[in-house]
Amino acid sequence: MEEEITLRELIEIVLKGKWIIAAITITAVIITGIFSFFIISPTYEARSTLMVSPLVQGNAPSRQDSAYDTLLSYLSQYPQMTLETYRVQVTNPHILNQVIDELNLNREEYSLNTLRNMINVEAIKDTNLIRISVKDKDPEMAARIANTLAPKYVDFLSATLQEQMGKSAAYIQNQMKEEEKNLETATEELKNFLAQPQNVAELQKDIDAKLELITQFKTKLIELDVEEKALKASLESARASLAKEPKYLELDKSILDDPVMAGLASGKTGDMSNAAGLTVKSQEINENYTLLSAKVADLEVALAGIASQKTALVSNIQKTQAELEQLQATLAKKQTEYNRLQQQYTIAQETYNTFLQKYQEARITTSSKIGDANIMIVSPAIVPDSPVAPKKMLNMAIAMVLGLMLGVFVVFFMDYWKNSAEPKSIKNLSQSH
CA-nearest of 379, 380, 389, 377 to 136 is 389
Answer for the pair 222, 332: CB distance below 8 angstroms, yes or no: no
CA atoms within 13 A on the CB side of 57: 10
Mean predicted confidence (pLDDT) in 120-141: 91
pLDDT averaged over every residue in the chain? 82
Position 369 scores a pLDDT of 60
The span from the CA of 322 to the CA of 151, in Å, is: 84
In order, the DSSP letters of 202-263 are: HHHHHHHHHHHHHHHHHHHHHHHHHHHHHHHHHHHHHHHHHHHS-SEEEEEEEGGGSHHHHH
Per-residue model confidence as pLDDT tens digits over 375-408:
888 889 999 988 887 787 888 899 899 999 998 9
Position 55 scores a pLDDT of 57
From residue 120, give the alpha-carbon distance in Å to each of 38, 134, 183.
Answer: 27, 6, 55
pLDDT range class, residue 427, cuts 50, 70, 90: very low
Cβ count near 284 (within 10 Å): 10
Amino acid at 199: N
Answer for the pair 232, 226: CB distance below 8 angstroms, yes or no: no
**Lowest mean pLDDT: which of 93-107, 151-165, 239-253?**
239-253
Position 355 scores a pLDDT of 84
Grouping H, G, I as helix, E, B as strand and the rest as coil, residue 49 is strand
**Lowest mean pLDDT: which of 117-121, 166-170, 335-339?**
166-170
Mean predicted confidence (pLDDT) in 346-351: 90
The span from the CA of 141 to the CA of 110, in Å, is: 11
Mean predicted confidence (pLDDT) in 258-275: 58
pTM of the model: 0.52
Tell whether the model's pLDDT for residue 315 goes beyond 90: yes
Amino acid at 173: Q
Output the CA torsion sign for 264, 269, 275, 281.
negative
Mean predicted confidence (pLDDT) in 296-318: 92
Name the CATH topology of 200-353: Helix Hairpins (1.10.287)
Domain ranges of the chain: 12-39+398-433, 200-353
Mean predicted confidence (pLDDT) in 257-279: 58
Mean predicted confidence (pLDDT) in 185-200: 87
Tell whether the model's pLDDT for residue 4 goes beyond 70: no
Question: In this structure, what are the phi and psi dihedrals at residue 55, rounded to the nearest 5 degrees?
Answer: -85, 115
pLDDT range class, residue 148, cuts 50, 70, 90: very high
Geometric angle at alpha carbon 45, from 43 and 49, rounded to 5°: 170
Mean predicted confidence (pLDDT) in 290-297: 88
**Lowest mean pLDDT: which of 126-135, 185-194, 240-249, 254-263?**
254-263
Selected residue with higher pLDDT from 44 and 74: 44
Mean predicted confidence (pLDDT) in 352-358: 86
Selected residue with higher pLDDT from 64 and 155: 155
Mean predicted confidence (pLDDT) in 167-185: 88
Cβ count near 373 (within 10 Å): 11
Per-residue model confidence as pLDDT tens digits over 97-121:
999 999 999 988 899 999 999 999 9
Q: Which contiguous run of DSSP H or E holds residue 179?
A: helix 139-195
Answer for the pair 174, 407: CB distance below 8 angstroms, yes or no: no
Answer for the pair 95, 154: CB distance below 8 angstroms, yes or no: no
Per-residue model confidence as pLDDT tens digits over 54-95:
655 444 445 455 555 555 555 555 556 788 888 888 999 999
Position 63 scores a pLDDT of 47
Tell whether the model's pLDDT for residue 365 goes beyond 80: no
- β-sheet bridge partners, residue 389: 43
Contacts of residue 235, Cβ cutoff 8 Å, sequence gap at least 6: 296, 299, 300, 303
Contacts of residue 227, Cβ cutoff 8 Å, sequence gap at least 6: 306
pLDDT range class, residue 426, cuts 50, 70, 90: very low
Mean predicted confidence (pLDDT) in 351-374: 75
Residue 128 carries which DSSP code? S
Position 425 scores a pLDDT of 47
